[in-house]
Amino acid sequence: MNAPLLPPDIVKSTDAEAVLVKIAGLLQTGSIVPYLGPGLSAASAPDVPMTPEALADFFGRKVALPRRAKGNVWAAAQHIESTRHRSTVSTLMAEAFATPVKPSALHSRLASLGLPMIVDTWYDGAMRDALRPGTNWGEVQGITRAGIGEDRWYRFYDADGSETDRVAAQAWKTLLYKPHGCVAPAKNFLISDADYVEVLTEIDIQTPIPDLVKDRRTNRSFLFIGCRFHDQMLRTYARQIAKRSSDTHYVIVEPGQSTKNELKFFHAQGYTPIGIPVERAVEILLSVA
């Protein structure tokens, strides 16, 4: 396993930049898995919600929400599902993410590296669009089990967006893992409290995580970029997806924005937080040829 580049205190200033240069080199070898959050695309101000709070506000503009659901996207989705129908939630999610998010320069760079795995945790299709059809990649998405009548936690899609299976997926050079689903190609969304109750009941024993993801994380580190962990569900997913991989991971944090719970999470998991704005982190990651 890789030794940490620096101890798990917040790495700041010039030290942060030096660490990122080393990480950029490791990223190109495939020994680090990029774990992308919506903050990676937020700087370009796309016309879709790019935080859970913004998505909750979108729901609130479409449906009258009780006070307990306002500002909480999972509770908001659950209220809509309970009082209207699951199809209403899916329709609103598709509307929220109808405008394509343009891949950033880092999305494009990651797509060009032929990495074993990329984890993308938001609902837009920017990373999928960066991984062009005709190349050797495919995707596995988390799915809601609400009303499908199947004992399945995820579905596989090839580069053209056609549903396939785990046998075909074994041959992919790059696996894109969308644990919460995506607007493309099939509008799969994990979003309501009920969706997550089922997953979180099983996630500690890893059942909802595809075997191919488990295989490709082995002995690899993770780089979390554009992610926040201010909610227990977000922390649980990160912990379980990175479980049984390397014991060395790195997380880009906006200076001064981490909550106490986030800092406790980083310490408990042994993540090295790197205090640097996402935009500057991207510049450094792109600068290493």
What does the alpha-carbon distance between residue 252 and residue 129 come to, in Å, rounded to a whole number? 24
Full pLDDT tens readout for the chain, 289 residues: 454 444 456 787 678 999 999 999 999 999 999 999 999 998 888 999 999 999 999 999 999 999 999 999 999 999 999 999 999 999 999 999 999 999 999 999 999 999 999 999 999 999 999 998 888 999 999 999 865 656 789 999 999 999 999 999 999 999 999 999 999 999 999 999 999 998 999 999 999 999 999 999 999 999 999 999 999 999 999 999 999 999 999 999 999 899 999 999 999 999 999 999 999 999 999 998 6
In this predicted structure, what is the pLDDT of residue 6? 45
pTM of the model: 0.94
CA-based Rg of the chain, rounded to a whole angstrom? 18
What does the alpha-carbon distance between residue 74 and residue 55 come to, in Å, rounded to a whole number? 10
In this predicted structure, what is the pLDDT of residue 5? 47
Spell out the domain ranges in the chain. 11-48+104-287, 51-96
Query: In 3D, which of 124, 161, 127, 170 has the Cα closest to residue 35?
Result: 127
Report the CATH number of the 11-48+104-287 domain.
3.40.50.1220
